[in-house]
Structure 1
Amino acid sequence: MNPWIVKNLIYFPIQAVRGEQVREYMDRINAFHEKPLFEQLEIQWRKLRKLLEYVSANNHYYRDIFASHEIDVGKIESPEDFRKIPFLTKDAIRAGSKNMVSNYSRRVSRRKTSGSTGVPLAFVKDRDSTAYMDALMYEVYGWHGIGIGDRQSRLWGIPFALKGRLLTHVKDILLNRRRLSAFSLSRESCIDYFQCLKRFKPKFMYGLPSTMGAFAAILQSSGIDPSEAQLEVIISTGEILSARGREKLESAFGCRVVNEYGTTENGIVAFESADGKMRLMIHNLYIEILNPEDGTPSKPGETGEIIITELHSYAMPFIRYRVGDLAVPESDSVDGSNLPTVREIAGRVSDLVITPEGKRVAAAILDYSLAEGIKRFKAFQTAVDSLQVMIETDDSFDKSTLTRTEKSWRAYLGENIRIEFNIVDKIPPDKSGKMTVLESSLDSEDFDVRTE
């Protein structure tokens, strides 16, 4: 379908009927991004204060939280004051989601996550919050020449229920998307997907890096050059995009790979700009990156836990929400884009290896430290002094590969943890279809970030 038709005759009219002013909010976001950083931060703080005042008057859950912790929102004048508000956890949402909905008279929609941790999360979104999420998405996609209505290939999951499958199919047609099932990556299906790409001619592909990497590898092993799909951009999301993974995708498809980090609940959190930096979405979110040891803000270069407050979500507020992911903040220096950055997204909080000395090591660092010859790995930690590691190898694997990898890892993990490697033909994905690098059964309190 012609992108202009999709954008102006389908997408914007449907959003207007739904009460989602995406066009207007895109203009606001664009104007916001043009402002100096100090003005952006002032606007962000005013939005945060407005949200806190609203929930203290209109939300039963937060009224109780503020009362029990003796918090007067009118006296929150600084980030230090704000950090006195306790974290919102996924378990708290599951236990009390009905009480978390504000006295909100406008239309809302009910959503849920895919349950990557095993248990889906149900929540409510008002139309303003979803409109801001979509407007922000299209604004940052525009950094790479992607516009509303441009043809998209989505290597993603397909709902199992018939109703969900039909609704998804209709949405894909209206949004000019072709969905390729990530649940079926046989040689035959991948060849069919490739033919679909050549016929449809999408501008970009969207998917998990592991899934897109597997797709490319199957095509290449079948004598097919993935670059013949003539993609202009690949957007990688949902998993850690390693330097090796990026290089392989760019080499296979012959186009740029762009990194996206976000959540189903709150939209895009950080997005890669044209200069390769991960920009934080401070127009829609107040983002804290906190030291796992003491709950204070992480210093540049120091891994911390991501805590999110969504600034436009009034129907069901997400205030100091523990999304369960880690990031490394960038230097405090401001460059010409006026948007703060993170050096990297370092995985989930549970993607921390705990050493016998109590040191916390992001599993993503281990991925960067693999010796040549290891295609993929997954580590299992059942005790602080033990790490079991499954690995897939490639043709360059030799007797020294494991020795070199262990030596690199011990620079981070120390000498007091036992590392055992087990070579397997294929590492299975987790329940959500993602390829995680660490599965830990240590008690959850080992990962807790403490408030001040």
Structure 2
Amino acid sequence: MNSAVARALYHALQLWRGEPVLAAMRDLRESRAWPREKLFMMQWERQKALYRHAFTTVPHYRDSWTKLGLTSASMTSREAWSRLPVLEKADLHQKSADLKSSRRYGGLASSTSGSSGTPVAVFRSHKSWAYHHANIFRGWEWFGIQVGDPYAYLWGLALDSEGKRQAWMKDGVFNRRRCSAFSLDRDRAVAFFHELRAHPVEFLYGYPSAVAQFAEELAAAGLDGRELRVKAAVTTAEVLKEHQRARIGEVFGCPVVNSYGCAEVGIVGIECEQGRLHIPIESVVVETLPGSDGYDEVLLTDLMNEAQPVIRYRIGDLVKREEDTCPCGRGLPVLGQILGRAGDTLELPDGRKINANLPSYIFKKHGKAGTVREYQFVQFRDGTIELRIIRGPAWTNNLVHEIGVEAREVLGVDVAVSPVDRIERVGRGKHRDFVRAE
């Protein structure tokens, strides 16, 4: 579909749905040249407005804040904001009705895939969705991409017929060609490559694991990904590892643009040309709780969701402390490197607990060397751990022993290393470094 036609169709459908994307895009364009101080002032005014709205119309917040002696006029400083109770995933499960505003808002529910083991749903207003999409489109514009431009979509796919029908309709509206992360083998990757050659796209979009696998399969098949002439490969929904970034960039000859967000709040950060994640503070508040080893825990607030406000929500992610400036010169603050889930832990047979992201450091050199394409730690009920590995093009059989030794050095326990041909996806097709066997 022609980009201009797709763009007009998209905006017409969003207007019909009641989602004010154009208004949100105008708001973001107006603020794009603002200095950081002015952006923070606008954000604070929106924080205070959301607080008053939540206190007045949302039972959960009114009850919990009243117990602290707060009133609708108590939000006088950012320090006061930082003393508000943290919203937990359990609250979204157990108090969903009490977290909704007494005022009626149009919108759509947004649910997580459950890849973290705790699926949750939030009813997000049309305005919340509009800013989510507008923030994504603003990030695309930094790389010369416009809404309506055709793109390749490496994502999950519903298994039922109705879900597939809806996916087909959405793919048409968004002007995208889908390749399911569930069935991305060598033959499918080659077929998808030729499909994209016949129907050119402007960029790739998908899970880091799926885009990286697409790159690996093309390279193994002797195909040159640079022939697709894409402007960028945009990744989201999983932690992008450095060896994945390097491999994707090498195969497709384009920038790899990471984005960060969640179903409960929407987009929280998108990388600029300098590779730094910028926070769209016009619509999102990002706070951190002090952690250890240079990483802090993330709290999120959606300033645009008045239907079911999400305020100071503990998403469960860890972020690296970094300098909050960027050579690109934009006023938007910078978010540090996302490590992954704070709650994901490997519990070893002796009772020790370690963050499940730690073992990923074993594979930095293997990913760069092309010896390991993908891996997953599986912990069984008896505490034993199996390390499943999809071999890369430079794999040699002696690596089973070498990686086993490295894993033992990191974990302090024996790990069974098992080369496999396929690693099962979870949720909507996401990859997880660590899973517990049922």
TM-score bracket for the superposition, by shorter chain length: 0.7 to 0.9
Deviation at 1:217, TM superposition (A): 2.2
Counterpart for residue 431 of structure 2: 435
Per-residue deviation, residues 54-74 of structure 1 (Å, max 9, x unmatched): 110011121122123443453
Counterpart for residue 446 of structure 1: none
Confirm or deny that 1:2 pairs with 2:2: yes
Counterpart for residue 449 of structure 1: none
State the distance in 1 between where 2:184 and 2:128 align: 35
State the distance in 2 between where 1:169 and 1:332 align: 41
Q: Report the TM-score, using the length of structure 2 for normalisation.
A: 0.87
State the distance in 1 between where 2:70 and 2:325 align: 33
Counterpart for residue 345 of structure 1: 338
Counterpart for residue 418 of structure 1: 413
- Counting only pairs closer than 5 Å after superposition, residues 49-128 of structure 1 correspond to structure 2 as 49-72=48-71, 74-128=73-127
Q: Which residue among 375, 378, 403 is the counterpart of 1:377?
A: 375
Counterpart for residue 233 of structure 2: 234
Confirm or deny that 1:308 pairs with 2:307: no
Residue 422 to residue 116, structure 1, CA distance change in 2 (3 Å): same
Secondary structure of the structure 1 residue equivalent to 2:100: coil
Matched length: 428
C-alpha contact 1:391 1:424 (8 A) present in aligned 2: yes
State the distance in 2 between where 1:399 and 1:183 align: 30
Deviation at 1:218, TM superposition (A): 2.3
Secondary structure of the structure 2 residue equivalent to 1:183: helix
State the distance in 1 between where 2:340 and 2:82 align: 23
C-alpha contact 2:404 2:415 (8 A) present in aligned 1: no
Residue 72 to residue 337, structure 1, CA distance change in 2 (3 Å): same
Counterpart for residue 143 of structure 1: 142
Deviation at 1:78, TM superposition (A): 3.6
State the distance in 2 between where 1:291 and 1:184 align: 41
Secondary structure of the structure 2 residue equivalent to 1:74: coil
Per-residue deviation, residues 206-265 of structure 1 (Å, max 9, x unmatched): 111211222222233333222222222111112111111111111112222111111122
- Counting only pairs closer than 5 Å after superposition, residues 270-419 of structure 1 correspond to structure 2 as 270-292=269-291, 302-333=294-325, 336-351=329-344, 362-363=357-358, 366=361, 369-371=364-366, 372=369, 373-380=371-378, 389-394=387-392, 395-397=394-396, 399=398, 417-418=412-413
State the distance in 2 between where 1:72 and 1:124 align: 25
State the distance in 2 between where 1:32 and 1:105 align: 29
Per-residue deviation, residues 4-38 of structure 1 (Å, max 9, x unmatched): 12223x12222222222212211211222311111
Structure 1 stretches of 5 or more lacking a match? 294-300, 442-452
Deviation at 1:102, TM superposition (A): 0.3
The alignment yields a C-alpha RMSD, in angstroms, of: 2.9
Deviation at 1:160, TM superposition (A): 2.3
State the distance in 2 between where 1:60 and 1:401 align: 56
C-alpha contact 1:388 1:419 (8 A) present in aligned 2: no
C-alpha contact 1:370 1:405 (8 A) present in aligned 2: no
| Paired AA for residue 253 in structure 1 | F
C-alpha contact 1:48 1:311 (8 A) present in aligned 2: yes
Residue 378 to residue 164, structure 1, CA distance change in 2 (3 Å): closer
Residue 357 to residue 426, structure 1, CA distance change in 2 (3 Å): same
State the distance in 1 between where 2:233 and 2:81 align: 38
Per mean C-alpha deviation after superposition, the further-off stretch among 221-230 and 88-97 is 221-230
State the distance in 1 between where 2:110 and 2:353 align: 38
Confirm or deny that 1:30 pairs with 2:24: no
C-alpha contact 1:242 1:368 (8 A) present in aligned 2: no
Secondary structure of the structure 1 residue equivalent to 2:420: coil
Counterpart for residue 296 of structure 1: none
Per-residue deviation, residues 29-54 of structure 1 (Å, max 9, x unmatched): 12223111111111111111110111
| Paired AA for residue 37 in structure 2 | F
State the distance in 2 between where 1:154 and 1:359 align: 34
Deviation at 1:399, TM superposition (A): 4.7
Residue 73 to residue 438, structure 1, CA distance change in 2 (3 Å): farther
Confirm or deny that 1:204 pairs with 2:203: yes
Residue 381 to residue 288, structure 1, CA distance change in 2 (3 Å): farther
Per-residue deviation, residues 134-160 of structure 1 (Å, max 9, x unmatched): 111111111111101101111112222
State the distance in 2 between where 1:220 and 1:255 align: 15
Structure 2 stretches of 5 or more lacking a match? none
State the distance in 2 between where 1:164 and 1:134 align: 22
C-alpha contact 2:404 2:414 (8 A) present in aligned 1: no
C-alpha contact 1:206 1:235 (8 A) present in aligned 2: yes
Residue 157 to residue 408, structure 1, CA distance change in 2 (3 Å): closer
Residue 205 to residue 375, structure 1, CA distance change in 2 (3 Å): closer
Per-residue deviation, residues 292-332 of structure 1 (Å, max 9, x unmatched): 46xxxxxxx82112110100110000011122222113214
Counterpart for residue 39 of structure 1: 38
State the distance in 1 between where 2:422 and 2:296 align: 28
Residue 243 to residue 93, structure 1, CA distance change in 2 (3 Å): same
State the distance in 1 between where 2:69 and 2:380 align: 39
Deviation at 1:350, TM superposition (A): 2.9
| Paired AA for residue 21 in structure 1 | P
C-alpha contact 1:118 1:431 (8 A) present in aligned 2: no
Deviation at 1:196, TM superposition (A): 1.4
C-alpha contact 2:362 2:407 (8 A) present in aligned 1: no
Per mean C-alpha deviation after superposition, the further-off stretch among 82-91 and 35-44 is 82-91
Per-residue deviation, residues 430-449 of structure 1 (Å, max 9, x unmatched): 422322223479xxxxxxxx
- Aligned residues with identical type, % of pairs: 27
Residue 306 to residue 253, structure 1, CA distance change in 2 (3 Å): same
Secondary structure of the structure 1 residue equivalent to 2:154: strand
Q: Report the TM-score, using the length of structure 1 for normalisation.
A: 0.85
